[in-house]
Amino acid sequence: MQRYDECGLIQDGKVITFRAHDGFDGKIIIPDDVTEIGNRAYEVAFCDIKEVSLSPSVKRIGVRSFACCEKLREIIIPAGVETIDKEAFSDCHSLKKVYYLENGFEGGDNYVSLVQQWCQKENGELPRYLFQDTDEYKVNRMLHCYTIMGQRDTIENEDSDGPITCKLYIDNGNPFVGFGYSKSEARLAAAEKAYQYLDEEDMLFTMADEIDEPTLENAISQLQELAQKGYFSLPVYNFEEKHDRQGNPYWRCECSVKEYKYSYWSEKGTKKEAKRKVAYDMLMSILNADGDDNDWDDEEDDE
């Protein structure tokens, strides 16, 4: 049984393909009778899709379902989704917000979000989650060991327990596994273990990875770039015009960032010179506070 809905061509509960209709506003809403987003269903839509809201009935998001949707900014993934296949969101460079409904976070680190961000930066796509019954998982684990030769072993969160198993894939290697009494609990346990692994293996991105080598010339834009990527609040610059004993004007600039205790100031002949110097001092202070190991030397201020 086929029909064409505003979300695309639907056959037997699966979205097969999509073609933008007249007046398409970039939003895709999946209806309640859809259980699967087919392989490459929206890849052919190319760049017009901006937001996607999946219905609670969706169980699977297929291979490259939304690949190359470069304008896709956000998607809502309901708790009922059991499988996100490989490269489902590959090359979605504008994807900034992924909402996992009923994640069950009560304070603490949002490991699901942290692992998601890492995968988007490292691989250009979202991590894959597969759910199954824990008894079934343990039987298969004994029989097959879930090991990909030459890759790390499957890593389980031994502090978690429950009848639902979540296998989390962050790359082509073996999965990280969590257990829980709900899908959200199992997913969180798997994500926590994956994040711990990335941390222990020194694979997490740092602020220094986000920018080129810090320089006095580019410090203002580099500091702003890190703020826009969410590492800290936008820097605040305060200027004061002053005069030396001969009456010549010069500028004092002070730079502060909400999350950091110290502020920096400089006095220069122009506002631009003063702002650039304090931005550089603040940038280097923040990078050092972040614990980055680097060989960067502070530039001499020869202005």
Give residue-wise pLDDT tens across range 194-222: 999 998 988 888 888 878 889 999 999 99
Instruction: Give the whole-angstrom CA distance, residue 190 versus residue 84.
Output: 15
Predicted local confidence at residue 166, as pLDDT: 93
Sheet holding 264-268, edge to edge: 236-243, 249-256, 264-268
CB 88 within 8 A of CB 62: yes
pLDDT band at 112 (very low <50, low <70, confident <90, very high): confident
Instruction: Give the whole-angstrom CA distance, residue 216 versus residue 245.
Output: 29
- Per the DSSP assignment, residues forming a β-bridge with 264 are 255
User: pLDDT per residue over 56-111, tens digit each?
Assistant: 889 899 999 998 888 888 887 877 788 888 888 888 878 877 766 654 434 334 78
- Give me the mean pLDDT over the 36-57 stretch: 83
User: pLDDT per residue over 149-189, tens digit each?
Assistant: 667 888 999 999 999 999 999 988 889 999 998 888 898 89
Tokens in use for 55? 């219905």
Tokens in use for 175? 């999965």
Predicted local confidence at residue 72, as pLDDT: 86
25: alpha, beta or left? (left if phi > 0; alpha if psi -120 to 50): alpha
Average pLDDT over the chain, rounded to an integer: 84
Tokens in use for 223? 């500091």
Our measurement of the distance from residue 50's CA atom to the centroid of its chain's CA atoms, rounded to an integer in Å, reads 17
- At 197, which amino acid appears? Y
- Give me the mean pLDDT over the 34-60 stretch: 85
Higher pLDDT, 139 or 120: 139
> Residues 6 or more apart from 263 whose CB is under 8 A from it?
254, 255, 256, 282
DSSP 155-191: EE-TT---SEEEEEESSSSPPEEEEESSHHHHHHHHH
Picking from 46, 11, 41, 40, the residue whose alpha carbon sits closest to that of residue 26 is 46
Q: How many CB atoms lie within 10 A of CB 6?
A: 12
Eight-class DSSP state of 65: T
- At 153, which amino acid appears? D
Instruction: Give the whole-angstrom CA distance, residue 64 versus residue 40.
Output: 5
Extract the runs of DSSP E, i.e. beta strands, from 85-235: 97-100, 128-133, 155-156, 164-169, 176-180
Whole-angstrom Cα Rg for the chain: 25
